[in-house]
Amino acid sequence: MNKWLNEIELEGDLVRLVPLRKDFRDNLVLAATDGELWKCWYTSVPSEKTIDGYIELVLDELIKDKALPFVVIEKKTNKVIGSTRFCNATPQHRRVEIGYTWYAKTYQKTGVNTECKYLLLTHAFDTLNCIAVEFRTHWYNTASRNAISRLGAKQDGVLRNHQIDAEGALRDTVVFSILREEWPTVRKSLLFKMNQYQ
């Protein structure tokens, strides 16, 4: 059976997105240490304690054609600065989510996220032939919600009591999407924004 999500490297002006492998373990922990990102209770950024399970889980989802994880590498320094992935893939419906995205604090609110999303969306719509790309985030993650809106995604709704976290707290999940028909305009907007960072 052919896979839908095949490993690929995506490259822009600022970053390369390289398939995540176990040997990126220490570099991912180092990137997450910049800002101690795992301390933010409504995200799922790995720490030294959780990195091995984090990698095992996503590599298992890669084998099952449910996810395609990447490390984000800054081209100028060749340094790992974060991670992102295609996830919750449903090939039969040509839908995929872009999620589990995080960057070292130093690289937040720079051109990195815009370029990463441009590369992923281009691959999703132009290569995978998606009819829709989803984004999901925690209700309390207002920074993520704002960043997703700035990309041009529209809010579909809120899944109330969608998940239970490790400590038993209930999560409301905010769902956004970009449709295939919207992609040409979203692409134009992202290209304009990326030109401002150059």
In a domain, 133, yes or no: yes
Question: pLDDT confidence of 43, banded at 50, 70, 90?
Answer: confident
In a domain, 2, yes or no: no
Residues 122-163: pLDDT tens digits?
A: 999 999 999 999 999 999 999 899 999 999 999 999 999 999
In a domain, 1, yes or no: no
**3-class SS shares of the chain: helix, strand, coil, % to 5:** 40, 30, 30
In a domain, 3, yes or no: no
pTM: 0.94
Ranges of H-type helices in 98-197: 112-122, 142-151, 183-196
* Distant-in-sequence, close-in-space partners of 115: CB < 8 Å, separation ≥ 6: 12, 13, 14, 15, 194, 197
What three-state secondary structure class fits 138?
strand
Residue 35 has pLDDT above 80, yes or no: no
In a domain, 4, yes or no: no
The residue range of the domain holding 27 is: 10-196
pLDDT, the chain, mean = 94
CATH number at residue 93: 3.40.630.30
